[in-house]
Amino acid sequence: MKTLLIIDVQNDFMPGGSLAIPNGDKIVSVINTMQYKFDLVVASQDWHPKDHVSFASNHSGKKTFDEIEIQGKPQTLWPDHCVQGTEGAEFHSDLDTKPWEAIFRKGTDKTIDSYSAFYDNGHLKSTGLAGYLKEKGTSQLFLCGLAADICVYFSIYDAFKEGFACFYVEDASQPLDVENFKDLKQEMIKLGIQIISSEEI
């Protein structure tokens, strides 16, 4: 089964949002067009409590994009974003969610961040996504969304480790840091992850 996983296409990651990804809004129409080519469409949603450990505002004397250590791992401190129940946490209003069969929320534990749609950053807790996709019979998994160099990348890496044949849909994704993402793309290619455009699906 050919499955599309849409990562975090939410208001706070759009231009004007609290953690804006450059040109993040440009992917919405691409996703809307291509998602009808799939047998199964699912999405992830960043869904943080307001006292989340990854927010710079919750660390006295720290500022946005500082790096600290949490549970033995480096943690970038972000602006408050995708707080549960806020408009910033909602999906972009132009995004067509009708074909979606399920939404998997992540980042709900205030004590640890969760970039991947599959696990938190410490791999302590699963979202249940891998089991869901396997039970549905997913063989090929196509991933897209925001941000390509963070949540999409970590989701692809975990999907690959779970044994899915992975495809990164480049024109349906945007990175926060374009230069950093160039290196990550090379890593994906070495793993055997295919980088494609929506036209090739």
- Reply yes or no on whether the pLDDT at 67 is more than 90: yes
pLDDT, position 63: 94
Q: Is the pLDDT of residue 70 over 90?
A: no
Region 83-96: mean pLDDT is 98
Q: Mark whether 190 is an active-site residue.
A: no
Please give the Cα distance from 198 to 81 (Å, whole number).
Answer: 28
Closest CA to 105 of 172, 52, 55: 52
Does the pLDDT of residue 117 top 90, yes or no? yes
Check 25, 106, 144, 149 and give the catalytic one: 106
Question: Active site includes 144?
Answer: no
Residue 8 bears catalytic tag: yes
> Tens of pLDDT along 123-176?
999 999 999 999 999 999 999 999 999 999 999 999 999 999 999 999 999 999
Residue 167: the pLDDT is 98
Mean per-residue pLDDT, 23-27: 97
Q: Which of 4, 99, 84 is nearest to 46 (CA)?
A: 84
pLDDT at 71: 81
3-state secondary structure 5-41: EEECCEHHHCCCCCCCCCCHHHHHHHHHHHHHHCCEE
Can you list the domains of the chain with their CATH numbers? 2-48+90-200 (3.40.50.850)
Q: Which of 113, 151, 158, 166 is catalytic?
A: 151
pTM above 0.75, yes or no: yes
Q: What is the pLDDT of residue 175?
A: 97
| pLDDT above 90: residue 110 | yes
